[in-house]
Amino acid sequence: MNWKTLDDMAFAGKTALVRVDINVPMEDGEVSDATRINAVLPTIHDISAAGGKVVLLAHFGRPKGKVVPEMSLRHVVPALQEALGREVTFIERPAREAIDALPADAVILVENTRFSPMEPANDPQMAKFLASLGDIYVNDAFSAAHRAHASTEGIAHLLPNCAGRLMAAELTALEAALGTPKRPVVAVVGGAKVSSKLELLGNLVRQVDHLVIGGGMANTFLAAQGKPVGTSLCEHDLAETAREILGKAEAAGCKIHLPVDLVVAREFKANAPHEVVDTCPDDAMILDAGPKTVAALTEVFKACKTLIWNGPLGAFELEPFDAATNAAASAAADLTKAGALVSVAGGGDTVAALNRAGAAQDFSYISTAGGAFLEWMEGKPLPGVQALEAK
């Protein structure tokens, strides 16, 4: 990877335009989860400590190029100030003169970049205007790196640029997981539908040594092999596609792992009467993988050096159908703590599942990015990252 970090830049007396992702959830007008705010604090603190003025660029919600008062970043200022422990100046209509007039150690938050239709269009004029507001561009928003927007891609070509602390940590972790990983590599891919992860599966069978398929996706593969899935969620129309993926995996030397025992129920609800079976009855639905599957996966983890995880193994939001996800995650966490495994996980459901399992804190790296993490796993170039590397 050919990108610079904060340590490669001289911020003293300069204004740094820092693209961050503080698109945080709100309840009753207040920030309900400040995780994303806390994640960008190291970058802000380090630039300030190096003598730079910080101008934060960010989006909030999906206003679709219009001014939507409820999506103003003004609402985030109190939580940002509390997290930073200092004043944040909010500027609705930014101008270089107004920014220059503020103290050298000021932290400034500019209004929602997506209030302008020029942002998602990556309009060169907007990129040029944003670049005029500062001297150095810092991208600390990996979660928006898959968007070729004016504030994530266009501006990076116009100023000296670098990755912020969060972005650098993310890129380093991803490079260790798929770029130049320690082998063997195992990927866990779960979720409801194969159709939503076709590109992901197609890329991974060429990149990893073991591919674990779980969740509703596994049902489609089981059905494609002629195994009964009862009333389970299953994309029967993708049976041929599933067989093609299995064929590509075999040709590439990638071993596919599917459930060898199943937890089934007749109702999709928490604590529904359930049983562990080897074959799904016609009137039942598969809601989780069984203990023999978890034991087999644990052995796979022990034999590998690198793990990439995206998606749960079962209906993790319903007890007790979170058991396989919890047990497999705990096994991966234990191996990571022991120094035997590099583990990287990402995606919204994945983070939620690993947090429920109490395993997230012991993984090597947890990415909070959704779309960007998935596109990276699919092998797609990320415009926000490419722009940093190009400079």
> What structural domains and CATH numbers belong to the chain?
6-164 (3.40.50.1260), 181-377 (3.40.50.1260)
Per-residue confidence at 348, pLDDT binned at 50, 70, 90? confident
Annotated binding-site members: 21-23, 36, 59-62, 114, 147, 197, 317, 347-350
Average pLDDT over residues 294-303: 98
Asked if the model's pLDDT at residue 103 lies above 80, the reply is yes
Which stretches of the chain are DSSP H helices?
Answer: 35-49, 77-84, 96-100, 124-131, 165-174, 198-207, 215-224, 239-252, 291-303, 323-337, 348-356, 371-377, 383-390
Which of 370, 364, 287, 344 lies closest to 23, judged by CA?
370
Cα angle 125-128-130, degrees, rounded to a multiple of 5: 110
Residue 179 — pLDDT band, cuts 50, 70, 90? Answer: confident
C-beta of residue 347 within 8 angstroms of C-beta of residue 189: no
For the question of residue 193 being annotated catalytic, the response is yes
Residue 138: name the closest of 9, 51, 284, 254 by CA: 9
- Let me know: does 337 contact 360? Beta carbons within 8 Å: no
Q: What is the 3-state secondary structure (H, E, C) of 149-174?
A: CHHHHHHHHCCCEEECHHHHHHHHHH
Asked whether the predicted pLDDT for residue 295 surpasses 70, the reply is yes
348 is catalytic: yes
- pLDDT (tens digit per residue) in 219-251: 999 999 999 999 999 999 999 999 999 999 999
Provide the pLDDT confidence category of residue 1 given band limits of 50, 70 and 90.
low
Nearest to 187 by CA among 172, 171, 169, 205: 205
Q: Which residues are annotated as a binding site for (2R)-3-phosphoglycerate?
A: 36, 114, 147
Which pLDDT belongs to residue 368? 76
- Give the pairing type, strands 255-257 and 210-213: parallel
From 4, 14, 193, 337, the catalytic residue? 193
Is the confidence at residue 25, as pLDDT, over 70? Answer: yes
End-to-end CA distance of the chain, in Å? 12
Q: What is the pLDDT of residue 333?
A: 97
Stretch 300-304: mean pLDDT, rounded?
98
Give the mean pLDDT of 259-267: 98
More confident position, 179 or 82: 82
Q: What distance lies between CA 3 and its chain's CA centroid?
A: 20
What pLDDT shows up at residue 390? 79
Catalytic residue among 36, 53, 154, 215: 36
CA distance 91 to 109: 6
Residue 351 has pLDDT above 90, yes or no: no
Is 191 annotated in the active site?
Answer: no
Task: Kindly state the percentage of the chain with pLDDT values over 90.
Answer: 88
Mean pLDDT for the stretch of residues 188-206 = 92
Q: For residue 391, is pLDDT > 80?
A: no
Indicate the average pLDDT of the chain.
Answer: 95
Nearest to 268 by CA among 287, 245, 249: 287
Q: Which of 74, 86, 202, 348 is catalytic?
A: 348
Binding-site residue positions for substrate: 21-23, 36, 59-62, 114, 147
Question: Could you tell me which residues are beta bridge partners of residue 149?
Answer: none
Q: Of all residues in the chain, what percent carry a pLDDT higher than 70?
A: 99
**Mean pLDDT, rounded, for 357-369:** 91
Strand order from edge to edge, sheet including 255-257 = 255-257, 210-213, 185-189, 306-310, 342-346, 365-367
Mean per-residue pLDDT, 334-354: 92
Predicted local confidence at residue 189, as pLDDT: 96
DSSP H helical segments within 225-272, as ranges?
A: 239-252
Q: What is the pLDDT of residue 75?
A: 97
Q: Quick: pLDDT tens for 70-99.
A: 999 999 999 999 999 999 999 999 999 999
65, 202, 371, 379: the active-site residue: 371
Nearest to 83 by CA among 138, 34, 50: 34
Per-residue confidence at 349, pLDDT binned at 50, 70, 90? confident
Average pLDDT over residues 132-161: 97
